[in-house]
Homo-oligomer: A and B are copies of this chain.
Amino acid sequence: MSSNSTAATAGPSFGDDQRITELRAITGEIDDLRAALRLLSWDQNTSMPEGAGEARGEQMATLQGLIHDRWTTQRLGELVNDLATPIQQAPFTDADRALLREVNRERVLATRLPRGLVEEMARVEASSFEAWRKARTNNDFASFAPWLARTITLQREVADRLGFKATRYDALLDLYEPGLTTARVDALFAPVREVSVRLRQRIEQSGHTIDASCLSGTFPADQQMRLSRDILTRIGYDFTRGGLSISPHPFTTEFGSPFDVRVTVHPHEDMVDDALMAALHEGGHALYEQGSAPILARTPVVGGVSMGVHESQSRLWENAIGRSGAFWRGNLDVVRAVFPEQFADVDVATFTNALNKVSPGLIRIAADEVTYNLHIIIRYEMEQAMVNTSVAVESLPRMWNERYQAYLGVTPPTDSDGILQDVHWTSGFGYFPTYTLGNLYAAQIYAAMRASISDFHERLAGGDCGVALDWLRERMYRWGKTYLPEELIERVTGQRPDPSYFVEYLTRKFEQIYDLPTEAASK
């Protein structure tokens, strides 16, 4: 595997060309402004009083404007042009090349999307969010439809300004996953759709059920926070460069990776798995950010390279590792220490199976591993229709419901449980596919990791999460954005992204859990 040679090197480094040094100084200042902007936003979502909304909006607009202006300065343009040819050769390093690439990417975005358009998008998003919130409460898609139409128009304008080869939607995909195209997503997703629908049907037909009652009960919030903290500590999350707190929805944020990467969860007192698995999910995002080599700090090369690769790490830690029997053989003691009475008589198999119960439903965020990607594929198909074709907004709820019936075997009784369930379409399109990409990457990385560490299973079952974290840090995390997504996956796994790993992973895992007769996975 190529990853072995990668592992032998010393990690990313910048060369000493004076122009690279100047680029790093300029982007360092921009990164400081970006960190301040993120903190203003985080505070807005966690602590800010309601009466400060307008003032905070002005503060954030000022910082956004300063950042925008800095990406478009003449000096930065000179440096980019001046380096364009020499950067391809020695003595420039991979990190130097990534730095130039990311600077250029930010410059193109800032140049092609003028401040006026970006501000208009922010205003429409704020109004659209309010309209969506009310429409979902009142099950009234018609009142949200005009805002969705406005977002479609703006997203088309964004695509036209950014440019694309095949379809407008490609330009939006590229925003979240550099280099990704619709054609590539289609090729990657087709086997996922097939295996998911098939597995869902096989499980239903098997008549096998799982008892997940051990996850319900009474679990006080403060004890759940202790459990989240303990499990994060187990997987190697560094609390001296992070923090755990409560927010309405779990998220990971950073104010200068790799030195300040914080996570949140939201305990529900009647179930233990929601906050626990959120801690593992956000923990995966956070381990990736904390793992960047410190030399990359305050440059655009630090942190996760794309949304899809980022999601691969949250899914890897939450699902591949965090819903495995080996992991809970090594870590169920953490759960038992916090909730001794509830889990005294629950064995590892019962607990692990409960975490993997398959229940096809209407709601994406409550979906199991088997059906999750079907929710994404429906949204992906509809986003293409909205951006690339002249589909009537009014017809979208029917399209949504028909696909849910076809892929998941359920039909939403209301639009609030259907097309109105996600916040994403108040801001734009192109983000959803990265969730499924993340699942594909995660399965491929997990396979490579197990293949290259002969005693992986035993060490994980012995409570040693470092066996995974060390491997990931060395081959992947410390490189930040040095390599683009598909190149990074190839360096880590020896192969370009290939959906067959996920098909194999999902099939074998749920055949075992649901005691299904074995089928060829790559049908």
Contact = CB atoms under 8 A, between A and B. Distances in A.
A52 interface: yes
B39 A260 contact: no
B40 A259 contact: no
A63 interface: yes
Given A39-B40, A39-B43, A259 B62 contact: no
Contacts of A243: 47-49
A91 to B, nearest CB: 27
A52 B298 contact: no
A301 to B, nearest CB: 15
Interface string A223-239: 00000000000000011
B29 A256 contact: no
A29 B62 contact: yes
A54 interface: yes
Nearest to A34: B59
A49 B256 contact: no
A63 B255 CA distance: 14
Nearest to A48: B260
Interface in A27-56: 28-29, 32-33, 35-37, 39-40, 43, 47-52, 54-56
A63 B240 contact: no
A262 B245 CA distance: 19
Interface in A239-260: 239-243, 245, 255-256, 259-260
Contacts of A39: 36, 39-40, 43
A56 B32 CA distance: 9
A89 B523 CA distance: 87
Interface in A344-390: none
A435 B262 CA distance: 38
Contacts of A298: 55, 58
B33 A241 contact: no
A113 interface: no
A118 interface: no
Interface in A13-36: 28-29, 32-33, 35-36
Contact of A52 (B43, B48, B241): B241
Nearest to A65: B29
A63 B36 contact: yes
A54 to B, nearest CB: 7
State the oligomeric state as a number of copies. 2
A124 interface: no
A48 B245 CA distance: 12
A43 B245 CA distance: 14
A50 B238 CA distance: 11
> Interface residue tally of chain A, by bracket?
35 or more
B256 A52 contact: yes
Contacts of A297: 55
Contact of A55 (B40, B239, B245, B259): B259
Contact of A32 (B59, B242, B255, B259): B59
Contacts of A241: 49, 51-52
Contacts of A66: 66
Interface string A331-344: 00000000000000
A137 to B, nearest CB: 22
A233 to B, nearest CB: 14
A255 B58 contact: no
Given A49-B241, A242-B49, A259-B52, A58 B32 contact: yes
B59 A240 contact: no
A49 B243 CA distance: 7
A450 to B, nearest CB: 31
A375 B50 CA distance: 40
A289 B239 CA distance: 35
Nearest to A63: B36
Nearest to A59: B32
Nearest to A46: B47
Interface of A: 28-29, 32-33, 35-37, 39-40, 43, 47-52, 54-56, 58-59, 62-63, 66, 238-243, 245, 255-256, 259-260, 262, 297-298
In the A-B complex, list the 3 residue pairs whose CB atoms are closest, starting with the nearest.
Answer: A52-B260, A32-B62, A51-B241
29 contacts: A28-B58, A32-B59, A35-B40, A36-B36, A36-B40, A36-B59, A36-B63, A43-B43, A47-B243, A47-B245, A48-B243, A48-B255, A48-B260, A49-B239, A49-B240, A49-B259, A49-B260, A51-B238, A51-B241, A51-B259, A51-B260, A52-B241, A52-B260, A55-B255, A55-B256, A55-B260, A55-B298, A56-B255, A56-B260
Given A36-B37, A36-B40, A50-B240, 6 more contacts: A35-B40, A49-B259, A51-B238, A55-B298, A59-B256, A66-B66
